Amino acid sequence: MKVNEQGLALIRKFEGLRTGAYRDVAGVWTIGYGHTSMAGSPRVGRGMKITRAEAASILARDVAGFAEGVASHVRVPLSDSQFSALVSFAYNVGLENFRKSSVLRAVNDGDRCAVPRRLSLWVKAGGKVLPGLINRRAAEGALFMQGTSPAVTADARQQRAPRREPVEPVQGRAMHRSSINLAAVLSAVTGVVSSLAAGVSDLAGIVDGRTLAIAAALIIVSAAIWIIRERRLKSLEEGI
């Protein structure tokens, strides 16, 4: 893994070139392409001046140091574009912040599609959100994803998506087990029996109206008891 020209261009663009020492937004003395004393020599202080050639030389040395630091924390193989994006990020926030970042965790977990989103969280300096950092994180995210093949991207998305168990169709109960259907059947039977009994009564004169009413009532009560029993069984089965 190495820092490619796209990565170097990204760092140069967002760091900018200043040949005279200045304090950055966090109040740290800086010179060249974002070089500070924390990155190593030369030590930066008030009134310091360098040439463009010196700035380029310092940048090359600093990038090499950050590349070594990033490589020591990354546990998975990366393309040069992916590696360059991470070096640019570490160059900006520092190796210690990079080591503790969710960006590195996502990389080492193989969740590469999450890297641009994790990068986008690092947009503050001096407690304020800076448009320049928003743009830089977006550029680093784009460079990182440039090194990610569509197959890997689809794979990662599939792994992150929660698994959905197939929904099995609800099986209907058999007609003789359904209390609703049973009630309808028994009601129909009651009507038929009542009609037949009435017909027989009219023809034979052996069954009076009171006996017919009692028979119909018994059938209806039997149907009600069966429905209550069926509903009770259903409740026990479904755990309601």
Q: Which residues are catalytic?
A: 15
What is the DSSP secondary-structure string of the chain?
----HHHHHHHHHHH--EEEEEE-TTS-EEEETTEEGGG-SSPP-TT-B--HHHHHHHHHHHHHHHHHHHHHH--S---HHHHHHHHHHHHHH-HHHHHHSHHHHHHHTT-GGGHHHHHTT--EETTEE-HHHHHHHHHHHHHHHHTS-HHHHHHHHHHHSPP-PPPPPPPPPPGGG-HHHHHHHHHHHHHHHHHHHHHHHHHH--S-HHHHHHHHHHHHHHHHHHHHHHHHHHHHHHT-
